[in-house]
């Protein structure tokens, strides 16, 4: 039987060995791994070191023949990454969920790779099945990146389409895949609440994401609210004390304001992924909300419900307060929880002051807006 989702689904166990062999023979992939491990200083020696990297990779994954085996090997690297790049990872909210049922986890989006990776690790550590993860095809321009992501249970969101008909067809296929995963395969899904990261620190769900999900609804037999409830949507709030890409985001936003546009370089997304993975994040917290019910009647209502849970579940740190104050903000913080941080005020100020004068307001806003969102939610309640 033909597979209607073959073009977008993650790789299967039968595709693991050929893909690992393809990756171990890719000079671009081997160079990327060397850069991630040793930094850009390794580039002049990449040609000499690639054979050693290839040997190491083949030896490490010689007997891996399934996605589950691969992910168990990768777990070691994720744990090392958390140890090396964070001041601690904490998790809350999982006790409210049924571990035997698949959920559609919709999270805020601050980091390309780490948002789904940390959500996935938190679930795995608690005994939940690992996620199928949405990733835009704009990040899969190189074959080795596509191979790596689809090996790790990522599925493709096709954004590079030529017209409205193709966009609608791809959106319907994506919605059907997500629904099939949740309801038929009992396989959990992760998607971001918006296309692109929240570079300004404001976590807001795009109604277009919810409209896409609704394309799989059986309009004759279920209401909009029933369909939303059937997807078992759980909002997720990921809080980074420090954003490894704050300077890169501030530079982009400053350039966009000053010139009216911003053109990404070919390697910019890959550089952001690398910086987000290896850069210092301070304390990190992942909060799982509660599943949305059937009482929501429109994409706008669903988006608002997700936003409320993400903002209320976001863990603030002193850096958020310091940034808010540096931008002239004054507020009564009584009743607002501020978690202990790992970054001193002097270190945070030095981090911001290292940027250009035009970039600083954008970097500060990316931290301050998390506190602003909490204050706004508090005033609405």
Where are the domains positioned within the chain?
Answer: 88-380
- pLDDT at site 341: 97
Contacts of 51 (CB under 8 A, 6+ apart): none
Burial class of residue 191, CB neighbours in 10 A (0-12, 13-18, 19+)? buried
Cα–Cα distance between 180 and 365 in angstroms, integer? Answer: 39
- pLDDT at site 318: 97
Whether the predicted model's global pTM rises above the 0.75 cut: yes
- pLDDT at site 36: 78
Q: What is the DSSP letter of 262?
A: -
Q: Sign of the CA dihedral 58, 62, 68, 72?
A: negative
Task: Give 10-residue mean pLDDT values along the chain (381 residues).
Answer: 90 96 94 84 90 92 93 93 97 94 97 96 96 94 92 93 88 97 97 95 97 96 96 98 97 93 82 91 98 97 98 97 94 90 98 97 97 89 57
- pLDDT at site 297: 95
> Which one is the CATH code of 88-380: 2.60.40, 3.40.1130, 3.30.750, 3.30.70?
3.40.1130
Cα–Cα distance between 81 and 274 in angstroms, integer? Answer: 12
- pLDDT at site 381: 57
Question: What are 161-220's pLDDT values in tens digits?
Answer: 778 899 999 999 999 999 999 999 999 999 999 999 999 999 999 999 999 999 999 999
The total of other beta-carbon atoms located within 10 Å of residue 63's CB is 8
Cα–Cα distance between 350 and 54 in angstroms, integer? Answer: 40
- pLDDT at site 264: 83
The total of other beta-carbon atoms located within 10 Å of residue 25's CB is 13
């Amino acid at each position: 039987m033909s597979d209607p989702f073959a073009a977008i689904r993650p790789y299967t166990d039968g595709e693991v060995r050929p893909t690992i062999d393809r990756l171990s023979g890719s000079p671009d992939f081997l160079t990327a791994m060397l850069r991630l491990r040793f930094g850009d200083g390794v580039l002049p020696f990449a040609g000499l070191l690639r054979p050693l990297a290839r040997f190491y990779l083949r030896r490490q994954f010689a007997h891996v023949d399934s996605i589950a085996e691969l992910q168990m090997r990768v777990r070691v690297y994720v744990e090392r990454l958390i140890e090396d790049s964070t001041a601690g990872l904490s998790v809350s909210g999982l006790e409210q969920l049924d571990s035997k049922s698949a959920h559609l986890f919709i999270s805020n989006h601050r980091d390309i790779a780490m948002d789904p990776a940390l959500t996935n690790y938190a679930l795995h550590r608690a005994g939940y099945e690992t996620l199928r993860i949405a990733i835009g095809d704009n990040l899969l321009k190189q074959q080795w990146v596509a191979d790596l992501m689809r090996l790790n249970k990522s599925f493709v969101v096709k954004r590079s389409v030529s017209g409205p008909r193709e966009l609608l067809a791809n959106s319907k296929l994506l919605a059907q895949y997500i629904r099939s995963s949740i309801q038929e395969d009992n396989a959990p899904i992760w998607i971001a609440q918006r296309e692109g990261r929240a570079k300004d620190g404001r976590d807001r769900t795009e109604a277009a994401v919810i409209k896409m999900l609704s394309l799989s609804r059986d309009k004759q037999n279920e209401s909009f609210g029933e369909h939303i409830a059937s997807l078992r949507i759980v909002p997720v709030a990921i809080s980074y004390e420090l954003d490894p890409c704050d300077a890169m985001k501030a530079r982009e936003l400053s350039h966009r304001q000053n010139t009216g546009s911003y053109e990404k370089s070919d390697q910019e997304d890959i550089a952001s992924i690398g910086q987000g993975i290896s850069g210092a994040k301070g304390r990190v917290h992942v909060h799982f909300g509660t599943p949305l019910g059937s009482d929501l009647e429109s994409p706008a209502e669903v988006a608002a419900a997700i936003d409320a849970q993400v903002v209320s579940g976001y863990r603030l740190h002193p850096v958020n307060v310091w940034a808010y104050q540096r931008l002239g903000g004054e507020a009564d913080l009584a009743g607002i929880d501020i978690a202990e941080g790992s970054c001193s005020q002097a270190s945070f100020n030095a981090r911001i002051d290292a940027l250009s004068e035009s970039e600083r307001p954008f970097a500060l806003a990316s931290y301050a807006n998390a506190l602003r969102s909490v204050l706004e939610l508090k005033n609405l309640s």
